Amino acid sequence: MNALTMAWKKRIDGRFLGTFLSVLGGRVLLDIRRDRSQAMWCVHGTGKAAWEREYELDEIDHFFPHGESVYLGGSKARRLDIETGAEVAENDFGVPVMIRPPIPSGPVYILGGMAAPTALLGLHAETLQVQWQWSDPEYAAHREQLCRYFDGMIHTVDLKTREVRRVKHPRPLGFHGHGGDQVWCHFEEQERFGISTVTGEVVWHQKEKEPGLHQELAFVGTRAYCGGPFVSAIDLKTGALLWRQAVSGSAERFVESEGRLYAVAKSARMVHVLDAATGEVLASQEVKGDEPSAVAPLGPNRLVVGTYKLLYCFELS
């Protein structure tokens, strides 16, 4: 096993409360809270402060990087320049907007925010003008389609053609991923299913011998990663188990990048780096002090870990 050595650590000028920690263009991004304000905070890969943009409390909610920009939700949709933090585009809808994970064509928002959602919006990546709008905010946007299960049917919408497809499937379905554009992947405590969004038929079905192996589920590309005391990698095209690895603590908050899988185990104060192809543990490191709540790769051999008050950078040797 390789070692993780500390390259630098930096005290956060505020409090890091959640999971929104990203790296874009060699810079570390996180949203922080202060007593009377909140801020987008950007740090160079060396640990030196790059820029910050401060906002009133509840003026922004969360952020996602996409392309070479940073997109924020909150009182309006905002696009920030990664180099300077300058606001280069905005769109004020007159009501809050909650940002969702982006799709290849650009950022996605819920009009009305969490309190009063009314529609799902796809915005232009540069101008933040509305590219498409869907009147049901309960749909999820995956790749270039919208999808939702209700009334005993899988509903999908092709965003290029606006074609709506509905197929019956009696088993209630919830949080999900996709194995390609036409397979809906559904996990339960001990079973997992791949369901055709064309016919509604089950195209694969796998069952674990024991419960508790589908915890902390994360869909990344054509794989699902499940956490807990074991980390499991599942092929979403077949439902097959690719590998399973025991780790210290309960692993979660998975990030995959350049052949490696990163995770934290909060209560054990651990960060883990695994080989994404085999599950081999490449490195594990205890994080002193506060529980680690998020991890992100920083270049080929470094990673950053966010805790309540400190940002750590470790180097893989």
List the CATH code of the domain at 1-21+212-317: 2.40.128.630
Q: Are 310 and 293 in contact (CB under 8 A)?
A: no
The pLDDT tens digits of the residues spanning 280-300 come to 999 999 998 889 999 999 988
Q: Do the domains 142-207 and 1-21+212-317 match in fold? A: no
Say which amino acid occupies 272. Answer: H
- Residues 6 or more apart from 296 whose CB is under 8 A from it? 21, 22, 23, 28, 255, 262, 303, 304
Stated pTM of the model = 0.94
DSSP string, 245-265: EEEEEEEEEEEEETTEEEEEE
How high is the pLDDT of residue 284?
Answer: 95
Give residue limits of the domains in the chain. 1-21+212-317, 142-207
CATH fold of the domain at 142-207? Thrombin, subunit H (2.40.10)
The pLDDT tens digits of the residues spanning 130-169 come to 999 999 999 999 999 999 999 999 999 999 999 999 999 9
CA–centroid distance for 274 within its chain: 18
CA distance 137 to 109: 9
Burial class (CB in 10 A: 0-12, 13-18, 19+), 252: buried
**Mean pLDDT of all residues in 176-186:** 93
